[in-house]
Amino acid sequence: MKTQAPVINIKPYQTDEENAENTTPDVAASPPAKSKRAPAADAAGERIQKVLARGGVGSRREVERWITEGRLLINGIKVQLGDHLKAGDKLQLNGRHLKWEVFGVQPTRVLIYHKPTGEVVTRNDPQGRKVIFSQLPKILKGRWIAVGRLDINTQGLLLVTNNGELANRLMHPSSEIDREYAVRILGEVTADNIAQLKKGIELEDGIAKFDDIQFNGGEGANSWYHVTVTEGRNRLVRRLWEALEFQVSRLMRVRYGPIFLPDGLGAGQCYELNAKELDDLLTFVKLPLERLESAVNSRVPQNKARVNKPRENNDPFAKKGKGAPDRRNHEKKDPFERTKRKPGPPRGRGR
């Protein structure tokens, strides 16, 4: 499968002892280095674009557009390009007050969440369905931001972070970061169908295509394929197959850019990137690295009942030498199999 380099070698089965070897000695051996990220706002304040991008309200370019359109006010006065936010300032966007103080500089955290079917990627659902944010560990400052979406009937890898600038870079169309899905198709797929899906099909919102398609096993009328796309359009994978009158019976995202869904991470569980993995991801999107001490401290779960690491140290898709891991060349089995386990013991108090 096409994967953009450098590839992050996620080690989802790394033990606590291994994590300690990779992080703790460096902190103990030398005094904490100065942060490479911008310091907290001083008396002069911080640029509005930077603050709102960090909080995930919008990208810096979007905020600049809002400023030129007169949609932002500070203390009742229209914002001008170059204005800064200072302690005590009241900020409004489209007439609504923003609690911008919670977007202060803080260590970046990134979760890999295995979204199950039946959950929606939103903060509040008027239909009362379960939302993914209620399943995540609590965060003391700021908020979790989902990197893209998965529809209610799709499960799999969903990245979540508290760094809005990181989320924007991972989602922005100009980044062309590929997403890989395991999909089960009902019907006989021909070579002409594959060629057409890779060449492009006219949908209601424009031409779309798969950048890669690989057969991944199956029997009878059901076949498994791994497909990649570089767009985040709504329900794109399903719509492409349905345009050729195929039925998608199962759909699961297994990779987002350089990050794979860890084997053994059950539906509804999440894994937090350690300091090394976080540095690799920040480098991948060309953001400055954070100091090690902050990264190590941010790895401590704030809600242990909901942050779960995979159970075994046997990931067949870990990076081996140069190049990207390739899921399709391993066992031809149902990628949903690992999510069909019996429930474990109760979590939380009384465990």
Contact 267, 250 (CB under 8 A): no
Residue scoring higher pLDDT (334 or 142): 142
Instruction: Tell me the C-alpha distance between 293 and 237, whole Å.
Output: 41
Which amino acid is residue 49, in one-letter code?
Q
Tell me what pLDDT residue 202 has.
93
Looking at the structure, do residues 66 and 206 belong to the same domain, yes or no?
Answer: no
* 115-140 tens-digit pLDDT: 999 999 988 888 989 999 999 998 87
Tell me what pLDDT residue 270 has.
94
* Residue 327 backbone phi and psi in degrees, to 5: -70, -30
Looking at the structure, do residues 67 and 167 belong to the same domain, yes or no?
Answer: no
* 214-264 tens-digit pLDDT: 998 877 778 999 999 998 888 999 999 999 999 999 999 999 999 999 988
Q: How confident is the model at residue 349 (pLDDT cuts 50, 70, 90)?
A: very low
Q: What CATH number should be reported for the domain holding residue 202?
A: 3.30.2350.10
Looking at the structure, do residues 183 and 297 belong to the same domain, yes or no?
Answer: no
Looking at the structure, do residues 80 and 112 belong to the same domain, yes or no?
Answer: no
Last residue of a domain, one of 256, 273, 304: 256
* Residues in CB range of 334: below 8 A, 6 or more apart: 224
Strand partners, 91: 74, 98
Residue scoring higher pLDDT (35 or 231): 231
Which amino acid is residue 311, in one-letter code?
R
Residue 344, classified by CB atoms within 10 Å of its CB into exposed (0-12), middle (13-18) or buried (19+), is exposed
- Quickly count helices (H) and strands (E) in the chain: 8, 17
Query: How much of the chain, in percent, has pLDDT values that exceed 90?
Result: 40
Residue scoring higher pLDDT (196 or 8): 196
Using alpha carbons, select from 4, 3, 2, 1 the residue that is nearest to residue 284: 4
Tell me what pLDDT residue 101 has.
79
Looking at the structure, do residues 319 and 295 belong to the same domain, yes or no?
Answer: yes
Last residue of a domain, one of 103, 126, 150: 103
Last residue of a domain, one of 228, 256, 284: 256
User: What's this model's pTM, rounded to 2 decimal places?
Assistant: 0.66
For residue 143, the enclosing domain spans: 106-173+259-339
Tell me what pLDDT residue 237 has.
95
Q: How confident is the model at residue 87 (pLDDT cuts 50, 70, 90)?
A: confident
Looking at the structure, do residues 334 and 263 belong to the same domain, yes or no?
Answer: yes
Q: 2 lies in a domain?
A: no
Looking at the structure, do residues 216 and 287 belong to the same domain, yes or no?
Answer: no
Looking at the structure, do residues 154 and 276 belong to the same domain, yes or no?
Answer: yes
Give the distance from CA 59 to its chain's centroid.
Answer: 16
Catalytic amino acids?
Answer: 151
Looking at the structure, do residues 168 and 263 belong to the same domain, yes or no?
Answer: yes
Q: 41 lies in a domain?
A: no
* Residues in CB range of 291: below 8 A, 6 or more apart: 32, 33, 34, 35, 36, 37
Task: Give the side-chain half-sphere CA count within 13 A for 31.
Answer: 1
Dihedral Cα 285, 291, 294, 299, nearest 10 deg: 50
Per DSSP, 311 falls in state S
Instruction: Tell me the C-alpha distance between 258 and 239, whole Å.
Output: 25
State the total domains in the chain.
3
